[in-house]
Amino acid sequence: AVAELARRGSPSGPPETGQDRPPENVVSVNGGAENGAVLHGATRNGSAFNGKPENGAWREADCRKRGKPFAPPAGYRALRRRLSGDLDNIALMALRKDPQRRYSSVDQLSCDVRNHLDGLPVRARKPTVLYRTEIFIRRYRKLVVAAVAVFLVMGGLLAHLEMMQRRTAREHARSQQVTRFLDDLFALGAEDIGMPRVPLTARALLDRGTEIMDSELAGQPRLQADLMLALGRGYCSLGLPAIASPLVERSLSLRRRIIGDVHVEVAGSLDLLSSLELAMGHYPRAEELARESLAICRQLLGPRHPTVLRARHAVAVTLLEQGQYAESENLLRQSLKDMQQWPGNYAQELAVARGSLALLLYYRGDYEKARSLYGMALDDTRRRFGELHSQVTANKTNLATCLRDLGDYAAAERLYREVLATYRKTLGEEHPANAPVEHNLAELMLLRGDLDAAEALLRNALTKGRQAMPEQHPTYALFRLTHARLLLAKGNAVGAEMAAQAAYGSLKGMMSADHLHTRRAESILGATLAHQGRFLEAEPILLESYRWLEGKLSPQALTTRNALHRVVELYEAWGKPDDAAKFRERLGAAPVGGSSPTQAASPEVSHRVRRHAA
């Protein structure tokens, strides 16, 4: 082989003799010497040894003779690979003993050498497809690379088009299924639609949609998950979180099974389910779901994404409802700070966060700051969404409650009635969303001394609340607490005690003994006992609730001052003027309102649920 010739030395002579010596066992037939001369020219023209006898091949031969290890110079292995191809075969064919298998003439050998130098196939190798392909690639390397690049680009484009076509086909199939679903949903029958006893209501459509989905889409889990979520939002918008929650739970379970636990869609389902649990008064469960949603969003989207800020706000609201004000305030202020850096991107989130922070300040008795934040949130949402949007009505309700407890009854009543008119116009007379507003308006009438108007409004709120909420629900418990106050104002202390005891038991079981609403119910329960002359029973209850509220909120918070006023009334009725005077000094000259914000949280909760339904 040519590599062997390289080890022996080039035709210019080995270093030992400096003479040309033909290889052993070579039979010179038809010009064997001429063949050697041609090979010598091929190697020199191909720069195999660069005309330098001191290069790699000579060094290797010398090292072998001396018994020393050979360290090949740079490029030597590449040279051997180069010589082991066509030149190797040409040399072997030229040195064959059988004349029939050797080149028949110098011209044939010279032609093979020229073909090798020109990048063409040679006679010395079999004309296999692989060999000819290799030669072609070597000769037209740039052209082949360009062709391969074009092929890859075209292949990638075709694969992308195929993928898009399949995706389009899947989406088309899904759209057809959704269309059939909607056709079946609205196909109630002309004879049924024409009958007045079967009204075509949103609730009827949602119920029918749930039945159709379970029966006809059993083999489409992804579509089922999407439709369950949509139906859950629909029930949410009707104020029926107890019906919406199982649907959203099923949707979440399907999405976890299909796309895994760490996905934006899973986080969205968790957030909606958290808001439903919050609306039903399941605060620890709501917090757990909100924190899980926040963790997924942070992992996938980073700390400043709008979805992350919304999820953080949801956690803050669950903490606020549980009375964990310090941690809730920290999260709310952090969210506000992040949102205010890009106000154009977070206009809606800013309004919601301001409303939540205002509610927290309201609970703590900082009514002026709360009113300012509520006003800003109302202006932002009104400018962005118009008068009929749910966020606008929620902010109006919260601002009205703040104004009511600041003593501006006229402005509070005007806002309450605006919200109630909007709900009745857009949602209907019997919608559950009317209940919190009717309850707040009933409290205002109670403060004004209009007991008949307060009783009528409160009766409507209790009826709607009983239909839409389970009996063990914080909002319904607060309705019953206001009913206890109304009965007490009408002189029915026994009935007031029963209502207050029921509300206190519900709040203590659902929240905890150390919660703002629970302690407030405890104070009202003590007042009902004091009005019956059961002073020994009332005293520890009233004192304990007052001291807790004073330490948790502030001495100037209206809830605290109302509890203190009940303690003063207890000692005055009991005939203990010294004790009454001691506590009266803490009241000072400021007027005492008639109520703390019993329902300020509910508009925010319902508002948050409707935000997901939008």
SS (H, E, C) 205-221: HHHHHHHHHHHHCCCCH
The C-alpha atoms of residue 72 and residue 59 are separated, in whole angstroms, by 8
Helices (H), 95-201: 106-118, 129-139, 141-186, 190-193
Max mean pLDDT among 106-115, 275-284, 560-569 falls in 560-569
Q: What sign for the dihedral angle of Cα 294, 295, 298, 303? A: positive
Choose the weakest-confidence range: 66-80, 366-380, 514-528, 595-609. 595-609
The C-alpha atoms of residue 440 and residue 608 are separated, in whole angstroms, by 19
> Nearest-CA neighbor of 106 among 34, 2, 27?
34
- CB-CB contact of 511 with 517 (8 Å): yes
How confident is the model at residue 36, as a pLDDT? Answer: 52
| Amino acid residing at 173 | A
**Spatial CB neighbours of 226, under 8 Å, sequence gap ≥ 6:** 251
The C-alpha atoms of residue 480 and residue 465 are separated, in whole angstroms, by 10
How confident is the model at residue 599, as a pLDDT? Answer: 33
How confident is the model at residue 380, as a pLDDT? Answer: 85
Report, as an integer, the average pLDDT of 347-375.
Answer: 86
Quick one: pLDDT band at residue 16, thresholds 50, 70, 90? very low
Of the chain, the end-to-end C-alpha distance in Å amounts to 82
Category of 30 on φ-ψ map: left (φ > 0), alpha (ψ -120 to 50) or beta: left
How confident is the model at residue 189, as a pLDDT? Answer: 42
How confident is the model at residue 28, as a pLDDT? Answer: 41
Token couple for 206: 């949602």
The C-alpha atoms of residue 464 and residue 434 are separated, in whole angstroms, by 8
Token couple for 251: 């949707």
Tracing tokens 């968790």 back to the chain, one arrives at 270
- CB-CB contact of 56 with 85 (8 Å): no
Max mean pLDDT among 82-91, 236-245, 466-475, 534-543 falls in 534-543
At 267, give phi and psi (nearest 5°): -60, -40
- CB-CB contact of 45 with 11 (8 Å): no
- CB-CB contact of 306 with 611 (8 Å): no
At 285, give phi and psi (nearest 5°): -65, -40
The C-alpha atoms of residue 314 and residue 283 are separated, in whole angstroms, by 12
pLDDT single digits (tens) 552-594: 887 888 889 999 999 999 999 999 999 999 999 988 744 444 4
* pLDDT > 90 fraction of the chain, expressed in percent and rounded: 31
How confident is the model at residue 56, as a pLDDT? Answer: 55
The C-alpha atoms of residue 402 and residue 248 are separated, in whole angstroms, by 34
Cα 588 from chain centre: 51
Choose the weakest-confidence range: 18-27, 60-69, 135-144. 18-27
- Bigger pLDDT: 343 or 426? 426
Long-range CB contacts (< 8 A, 24+ apart) of 231-235? 231/206, 232/272, 232/276, 233/272, 233/612, 233/613, 234/202, 234/206, 234/209, 234/613, 235/206
Report, as an integer, the average pLDDT of 72-88.
Answer: 63
Token couple for 121: 């196939």
Max mean pLDDT among 182-186, 233-237, 450-454 falls in 450-454
- Bigger pLDDT: 362 or 13? 362
> Nearest-CA neighbor of 568 among 544, 596, 539, 594?
539
pLDDT single digits (tens) 146-188: 888 998 998 888 888 888 878 777 666 666 566 555 555 545 4
Tell me which H or E stretch contains 463.
Answer: helix 451-468
> Nearest-CA neighbor of 274 among 294, 297, 253?
294
Helices (H), 346-448: 347-363, 367-385, 390-405, 409-426, 434-448
Token couple for 587: 């009241």
- Bigger pLDDT: 81 or 600? 81
Q: Does 349 score more than 50 pLDDT?
A: yes
pLDDT single digits (tens) 307-332: 888 899 999 999 988 888 889 999 99
Angle, vertex CA 598, rays to CA 594 and CA 602, nearest 5: 150
Could you please report the per-residue DSSP string of 483-498? Answer: HHHHHHHTT-HHHHHH
**Spatial CB neighbours of 141, under 8 Å, sequence gap ≥ 6:** none
Q: Does 25 score more than 50 pLDDT?
A: no
CATH architecture classification, 463-601: Alpha Horseshoe (1.25)
pLDDT single digits (tens) 181-232: 555 554 544 344 333 344 446 667 677 777 777 766 667 788 888 888 888 8
Report, as an integer, the average pLDDT of 340-359.
Answer: 78
Q: What is the DSSP letter of 532?
A: T
Q: Does 487 score more than 90 pLDDT?
A: yes
Token couple for 306: 């709008």
Token couple for 137: 């690639």
- CB-CB contact of 277 with 245 (8 Å): yes
The C-alpha atoms of residue 292 and residue 349 are separated, in whole angstroms, by 20
Q: Does 139 score more than 50 pLDDT?
A: yes
